[in-house]
Amino acid sequence: MFATPEQFAAANKTNVETLLTLANNAFASAERFAALNLNTARSLLEDGLANSKALLGAKDVQELLSLQTALVQPLVEKAVAYNRSVYEIASQSQEEVSKVVEAQVAELNKAVASALDKAAKSAPAGSDVAVAAVKSAIAAANSAYDSVSKAAKQVAEIAEANVAAATNATVKAVTASTKAAGGKKAA
Q: Tens digits of per-residue pLDDT, 18-28?
A: 899 999 999 99
Q: Quick check: 1 pLDDT over 60?
A: no
Task: Tell me the C-alpha distance between 56 and 48, whole Å.
Answer: 12
Cα angle at 2 between 142 and 106, to 5 degrees? 20
CB 181 within 8 A of CB 69: yes
Q: Express as a percent the part of the chain with pLDDT over 90.
A: 26
Mean pLDDT of the region 39-52? 94
Nearest residue to 80 (alpha-carbon basis) of 168, 175, 187, 180: 168
As a whole number, the mean pLDDT across the chain is 83
* pTM, entire model: 0.68
